[in-house]
Structure 1
Amino acid sequence: MENPIQIENYKIQKPEAWAGNMEDQELIDKIRDSEFSRKHIDEGRDYCYFLDKKYYTSNKENSEYVCMAYTLNEPGNLERASVSDVIVEENEVYSIHRISVLRDGVLIDKIPDTKIKVLDSESQSSGGILSSNKKINITIKDLRLYDVLILEDSRCKAFTERDFLRKEFSKYVWVSPDNYWAYGNFKFTFINDREQNIAYKKTFFRDEQGNVLEPEIHRLNKGERFIIEEQNYINPVDAGREIFPFIDFATENSWKDLSNYIAPIYEEMFSKYSLKDFAPHLAEKLDAVPDQDEKLQFAIEYVQNHIYYIFNADEMNGHKPQEPSVTYENKQGDCKAKCVLLKVILDYIGVDSSVVLVNFHTDYYIRYYLPSLLSFNHVVVKIHYKGQEYFIDATIRDEFGLIENRGFIYFMHYLEVKHDQVLQERGSYKFPYYCVDEKVEFNARNTTGRLQLTTTYKGNRANAMRRYFKVTNKREIIDSWNSFMFYALNYSNDRNGTDVRNIFKDAVIDIVSDDKKLNEFRIHYTATVENPYYTDPQKNRFLMYFDRNVIKASARDFIHKDLPFWHNFDSEKYEISLYTDQKIDTEEKYTVQESTISNPYFEYKSRKKISKNGATVFIEYNPLVNMEIPRDQFETFREDHHRVADSNFGLGIDIIEPGLMNMIKFNFKKKFK
């Protein structure tokens, strides 16, 4: 083996006593072909003869053990098995117990053919993400197609003094396995060796008809084990439409107990430090801002933009927040540190606020999890101001506006860091402004069209567009708008394959204004279009402008049995005007068609103004967001979005071609339409 020095991040040793020990002959006996294995191998899939997984938790460590044997019949799996990476956290040790192959009935030890390298896992350090994680690179020589690979390993995370939460609380989520694999034997064991009881909750398990069963909650005392074992097993989950069954294991607690545990840790920071004591210059700057609205904006943007965000993976899960004086002095900190500093500043200026725990990535599942502080991976600040409730992510940069104009953060569940709290659900939200307010005007004269757009973005849209214009090449921005116009004007159907730069001549896009208080970002786009009309195969000409962003395809196409639809669309307003020097059909059905949709979750209205040489459509879309659409109301919600898509998301006008014969043809078509 090519490892002259044993490195502390990994070891080669026998398993711990709690994991058990499997002899060579026992391994060989478990790798037996059967009608079940042959069926799946014949289908061209790799096959796992057995998977034995154990999770062990105590007040000193968390450990995970795996022993498995699977075929290498597919070249892709052979490649992945030959070179693999294992990421270990600080104070975590990866132990290799066995690497072997069964080849032609003979068990061969592959540890002598294994090369191990330990690398720093620092791929994102330049972006402020710090981690003392290590990447253990494992290369196994001379693996061959049709080998059976046997891997037995474990990883142990020993707790340090900084891991006070992990010492006190345990959390582990078991998720049913990938449904690509077929297993001859599948076994999972959870071992509780803690002084505290561990509760476990089985969720999204199904009966034989595929119906979701009610969640089950049970308890493990110290020394007890939970075991799942299946023979000839394939996970039956429909991965595209169903949630995989999972079991949440967590130290038995209530949300109130947990909030009472964490609140004093933060309260010490808030009460111990006064802003004037450690940041007198910042206090003076705040005092000099006469308007309270602007003072609040200054406080938020100071922490967001002047305190560098460092995500330290080792500090996030289970560590106390950094003292605000240190954060201010060093001008850097993680989300906890930045939020604590922001709250101290808000306390100084007399704005009511609190720190809340969230997890944006698993927000939907928190309601199903057992109460645990380890369910959260992020911290934000909740602000009460002028009778309204706002949430501020102190780690965001380049966000602007008075508090009512700032970007909206989408999430539902949170735990407030105060005494006697329970898990809270954030309410639905209706935008007090239009996130997109766009005015389009297209004038066609003779063979040339003049296109103008003026668009005002607010809230999240303003922040995103401001960043986009800051970092993107101007030519690329213009090409992007040209490409959008290519489809909006329906040119994709009569001149597809044409370079958009040859269609939209002299295209220019400029920033008109950028109001950092209103958080309004306004742009203006102009272009000249030769041959402005869309022409169908029958040589009929049309002026069209349909903005497909108005159609919410994700709502129309959504299909899932378990997940409700998460409603998070922006409010929008459009005024689209099309003018021509030609005569138009002022009675054409779709030209004059208007719509009013009053769904409980969005209101949509389109109104038309028709003249003999043009038309204007006024569109308003006002959604109720940050909520799930109930399943029994979703089909009506979907159908209403289909109505929007039925020619109500823009405007089209038909040109009546000049000449007596064209007029006769037009009248004949109208009569028999």
Structure 2
Amino acid sequence: MDNQIQNYKIQQPEAWAGIIEDQEIINRIKDSEFAKKQIDEGRDYCYFLDKKYYTSNTENSEYACMAYTLNEPGNLERASATDVVVEENEVYSIHRISVLRDGVLIDKIPDTKIKVLDSENQSSGGVLSSNKKINITIKDLRLYDVLIMEDSRVKAFTDRDFLRKEFSKYVWVSPDNYWAYGSFKFTMINDREQTIAYKKTFFRDENGNVLEPEISYLKKGEQFVIEKENYINPVDAGREIFPYIDFATDSNWKDLSNYIAPMYEEIFNKSSLQEFAPNLVEKLDAIANQDEKLQFAIEYVQNHIYYVFNADEMNGHKPQEPAVTYENKQGDCKAKSVLLKVILDYIGVDASVVLVNFHTDFYIKYYLPSLLNFNHVVVKVNYKGEEYFIDATIRDEFGLIENRGFIYFMHYLEIKHNQELQVRKPYKFPYYCVDEKIEFNAENTIGTLKLTTVYRGNRANAMRRYFKSTNKREIVDSWNNFLFYGLNYSSDRNGTDIRNVFKDASIDIVSDDKKQNEFTIHYQTTVENPYYTDPQKNRFLMYFDRNVVKASARDFIHKDLSFWHNFDSEKYEISLYTDQKIDTEEKYTVQESTIANPYFDYKSRKKVTKNGATVFIEYNPLVNLEIPQKDFETFRTDHHTIADSNFGLGVDIIEPGLMNRLKFSFKKKFK
């Protein structure tokens, strides 16, 4: 084997991890009644798992020693070839690879082949990474072996890791509930000069009730241990959050903000846009309108400065100087955000840089205060009495600031002195994200269908990108497929080629207003046999938009997670007209609805004539918030009301002829 010292080693564990002798390993692999029960059920079984996390001011290290069965072919396959990804300056150490076979402990390190590869996503799509993938292949593993793996990974801090030197952050998550453990042990070792706080969250009592979080502390040299025997994690994975423990250097938000603010102040104080970007200043000065000047500044940084995510640099919070970012026309989220703030300072717009984490936003309110809770930087803009957040790393977004895309997140830390963790206010759109007018006219055996749709905000940005990057035929097929179900043709002509239903369908961009951020399209087609016909030969014109029905709200079930409310505002005008008479008193044709939920308003109004009807639908949600569990069932019920034929329009055709009229009258009389 080629032992590449910089990426992996084969050696004994460090002193803090301890030494386990072969005989102790054998003694711990015993088939107890608990083990036999799991194995008899056809499950793989972990005899023991011993994990340790060691942190100091010079390194973070993780150690694991485990013994588990290879009774399932899939598990055997995964064990035979595994990948370990290590960061720059991180070393993966193998201490033991053995199998217990027929009571004999066999060393498998001589049968192990190790390759060091570049991580697949290295330097792709603006991502720069020095991560390496260590591929470990073990020969001659056999079904029903017990595999023993003992390894560790050590991340030694460099000058770039100044934040990790100063602050520790580690989240221990309770183990996967697939595995049964004869013995499970986790140890946290604090060898730092600073005290580490730890917070136990989403642990439960014997009745399954969530316990109040507990906060305790580890001083230098102290350890935290959690140990279980004959253990299966009782968490209900689909409906409960796995219990976890958050470890972080003991601090508070004010001290953390005071730690990081001077780093950014130093950059801002020595940055002069006039000096390093005179050409940009000239362009800004030439724009008289302040709204347009602000739009130009945002779009310049988003679209002209290439976003480069350097994974190695993101471990710290020291931003690149804006002069360098401007000169090189590239930078990470910190660099782009700092440049944008410097430009906004120049044009007199109040702005600040803030720390966020879109991926773990829900958990930040539970986490202990730590700068390492965050992984992204955006710009907060205060303009004309309103608060906006701009992600400088996004491309191809347009509009004056009030019309730009909305970023969904709740928690952030502003990079200023004496700050606390802040929570954003809920948001109501000042416009309709989707504003659509549908006209379907049936005459004789031909139906003419026209849709005109105006997209705004995030929807406009997304649809603009979609039309730019997608083949026109594919776009038309997508609309046709949606209409096939919306017109209920899936119920009476299922299996028909959709292109034969909508033979002359076309879709075009009507306008693209990049100031109002409005993207307008027009779709039209003709349909032979436009009516949906049920098995009793009754005919209907129908148009129901299932996008209006929020299935995620109706189906949501979770004990711990709150429902995240991020739906768009929508407005529809749906008109269905025919040269036939319709039933003007049919229940669902005339049914209207008004819903005034604390978290959304919904209104549908009808206008019915002898030959057709129009429904006007307006949906206005209060978004960027979690629906409290005490309010959720009412919220869900109100969405069920929308789903009860209040998300579109249907009209029943009264067939011509005396017998059909008598049949209709009879049906109405006895309904």
TM-score by length of 2: 1.00
Q: Which residue of 2 aligns with 1:530?
A: 528
Q: Which residue of 2 aligns with 1:462?
A: 460
The correspondence of residues 475-514 of structure 1 with structure 2, limited to 5 A, is 475-514=473-512
183, 186, 199: which one pairs with 1:185? 183
351, 358, 362: which one pairs with 2:349? 351
Which secondary structure state, in structure 2, belongs to the residue aligned with residue 643 of structure 1? helix
Alpha-carbon separation, structure 2, partners of 1:241 and 1:606? 34
Q: Which residue of 2 aligns with 1:27?
A: 25
Shift of 1:320: 1.1
Answer whether contact 2:122 2:129 (CA < 8 A) is retained: no
The correspondence of residues 293-372 of structure 1 with structure 2, limited to 5 A, is 293-372=291-370
Q: Which residue of 2 aligns with 1:260?
A: 258
247, 250, 255: which one pairs with 1:249? 247
Is residue 2:396 matched to residue 1:412? no
How big is each residue's C-alpha offset from its partner over 1:304-345, in whole Å with a ceiling of 9 and x where there is no partner?
000000111111122411111111111111000000000000
366, 391, 397: which one pairs with 1:393? 391
The correspondence of residues 97-496 of structure 1 with structure 2, limited to 5 A, is 97-123=95-121, 125-496=123-494
- Give me the CA root mean square deviation: 0.6
67, 70, 77: which one pairs with 1:69? 67
Shift of 1:6: 3.3
Answer whether contact 1:122 1:130 (CA < 8 A) is retained: no
Which secondary structure state, in structure 1, belongs to the residue aligned with residue 211 of structure 2? coil
Shift of 1:407: 0.3
Answer whether contact 1:436 1:573 (CA < 8 A) is retained: yes
Alpha-carbon separation, structure 2, partners of 1:414 and 1:76? 43
Answer whether contact 1:352 1:385 (CA < 8 A) is retained: yes
Instruction: Give 1:147's aligned amino acid.
Output: D
How big is each residue's C-alpha offset from its partner over 1:538-592, in whole Å with a ceiling of 9 and x where there is no partner?
0000000000000000010100000111100000000000010001001111000
Alpha-carbon separation, structure 1, partners of 2:249 and 2:638? 45
Answer whether contact 1:266 1:321 (CA < 8 A) is retained: yes
Alpha-carbon separation, structure 2, partners of 1:360 and 1:543? 44
The correspondence of residues 91-102 of structure 1 with structure 2, limited to 5 A, is 91-102=89-100
Alpha-carbon separation, structure 1, partners of 2:263 and 2:516? 37
Shift of 1:4: 3.5
Alpha-carbon separation, structure 2, partners of 1:18 and 1:494? 71
Which secondary structure state, in structure 2, belongs to the residue aligned with residue 347 of structure 1? helix
Which secondary structure state, in structure 2, belongs to the residue aligned with residue 20 of structure 1? coil
Which secondary structure state, in structure 2, belongs to the residue aligned with residue 648 of structure 1? coil
Alpha-carbon separation, structure 2, partners of 1:522 and 1:633? 36
Q: In terms of mean alpha carbon deviation, does 309-318 or 513-522 score higher?
A: 309-318
How big is each residue's C-alpha offset from its partner over 1:435-469, in whole Å with a ceiling of 9 and x where there is no partner?
00000000101111000000000000000000000
Instruction: Give 1:596's aligned amino acid.
Output: T
Answer whether contact 2:87 2:132 (CA < 8 A) is retained: yes
Answer whether contact 1:185 1:229 (CA < 8 A) is retained: yes
537, 554, 557: which one pairs with 1:556? 554
Structure 2: which 5+ runs fail to align? none
Answer whether contact 2:6 2:89 (CA < 8 A) is retained: no
How big is each residue's C-alpha offset from its partner over 1:639-667, in whole Å with a ceiling of 9 and x where there is no partner?
00000011100000000000000000000
Shift of 1:7: 3.4
Alpha-carbon separation, structure 2, partners of 1:617 and 1:660? 31
Instruction: Give 1:114's aligned amino acid.
Output: T
Instruction: Give 1:655's aligned amino acid.
Output: I
Alpha-carbon separation, structure 1, partners of 2:121 and 2:593? 51
How big is each residue's C-alpha offset from its partner over 1:604-632, in whole Å with a ceiling of 9 and x where there is no partner?
00000011101000000000000111111
Which secondary structure state, in structure 1, belongs to the residue aligned with residue 503 of structure 2? strand
Answer whether contact 1:122 1:131 (CA < 8 A) is retained: no
How big is each residue's C-alpha offset from its partner over 1:173-206, in whole Å with a ceiling of 9 and x where there is no partner?
0000000000000000000000000000000000
Instruction: Give 1:438's aligned amino acid.
Output: E
Answer whether contact 2:452 2:523 (CA < 8 A) is retained: yes
How big is each residue's C-alpha offset from its partner over 1:486-527, in whole Å with a ceiling of 9 and x where there is no partner?
000000111111110000110000000000000000000001
Answer whether contact 2:3 2:9 (CA < 8 A) is retained: no
Alpha-carbon separation, structure 1, partners of 2:445 and 2:265? 71
How big is each residue's C-alpha offset from its partner over 1:11-34, in whole Å with a ceiling of 9 and x where there is no partner?
000000000000000000000001
Answer whether contact 1:163 1:319 (CA < 8 A) is retained: no
Is residue 2:37 matched to residue 1:39? yes
Instruction: Give 1:169's aligned amino acid.
Output: F
Alpha-carbon separation, structure 2, partners of 1:299 and 1:486? 44
Shift of 1:93: 0.3
Which secondary structure state, in structure 2, belongs to the residue aligned with residue 63 of structure 1? strand
Shift of 1:638: 0.5
Shift of 1:5: 4.3
Alpha-carbon separation, structure 1, partners of 2:381 and 2:603? 34
Which secondary structure state, in structure 2, belongs to the residue aligned with residue 418 of structure 1? coil
The correspondence of residues 612-651 of structure 1 with structure 2, limited to 5 A, is 612-651=610-649
Alpha-carbon separation, structure 1, partners of 2:555 and 2:121? 36
Alpha-carbon separation, structure 2, partners of 1:255 and 1:161? 24
Q: Which residue of 1 aligns with 2:589?
A: 591
TM-score by length of 1: 0.99
Shift of 1:377: 0.2
Answer whether contact 2:50 2:186 (CA < 8 A) is retained: yes
Which secondary structure state, in structure 2, belongs to the residue aligned with residue 506 of structure 1? coil
Which secondary structure state, in structure 2, belongs to the residue aligned with residue 6 of structure 1? coil
Q: Which residue of 2 aligns with 1:8?
A: 6
Shift of 1:43: 1.2
Alpha-carbon separation, structure 2, partners of 1:507 and 1:589? 32
Answer whether contact 1:47 1:70 (CA < 8 A) is retained: yes
The number of aligned residues is 671
Alpha-carbon separation, structure 2, partners of 1:91 and 1:7? 11
Instruction: Give 1:587's aligned amino acid.
Output: E
Which secondary structure state, in structure 2, belongs to the residue aligned with residue 17 of structure 1? coil
Which secondary structure state, in structure 1, belongs to the residue aligned with residue 160 of structure 2? coil
Answer whether contact 1:162 1:319 (CA < 8 A) is retained: no
Answer whether contact 2:112 2:139 (CA < 8 A) is retained: yes
Alpha-carbon separation, structure 1, partners of 2:284 and 2:42? 68
Alpha-carbon separation, structure 2, partners of 1:469 and 1:334? 28
Answer whether contact 2:122 2:131 (CA < 8 A) is retained: no
Which secondary structure state, in structure 1, belongs to the residue aligned with residue 505 of structure 2? strand
Q: Which residue of 1 aligns with 2:569?
A: 571
Answer whether contact 1:457 1:522 (CA < 8 A) is retained: yes
Q: In terms of mean alpha carbon deviation, does 433-442 or 628-637 score higher?
A: 628-637
* CA gap 1:265/1:377 in 2 versus in 1, 3 angstroms: same
Dislocated runs of 4+, deviation >2 Å: 4-7
How big is each residue's C-alpha offset from its partner over 1:59-79, in whole Å with a ceiling of 9 and x where there is no partner?
000000000000011111111
Alpha-carbon separation, structure 2, partners of 1:124 and 1:154? 23
* CA gap 1:5/1:48 in 2 versus in 1, 3 angstroms: closer
How big is each residue's C-alpha offset from its partner over 1:75-100, in whole Å with a ceiling of 9 and x where there is no partner?
11111111110000010000000000
Instruction: Give 1:39's aligned amino acid.
Output: K
Answer whether contact 2:160 2:315 (CA < 8 A) is retained: no
Is residue 2:532 matched to residue 1:541? no
Which secondary structure state, in structure 1, belongs to the residue aligned with residue 666 of structure 2? helix
Answer whether contact 1:435 1:571 (CA < 8 A) is retained: yes
How big is each residue's C-alpha offset from its partner over 1:226-265, in whole Å with a ceiling of 9 and x where there is no partner?
0000000000000000000000000000100000000000
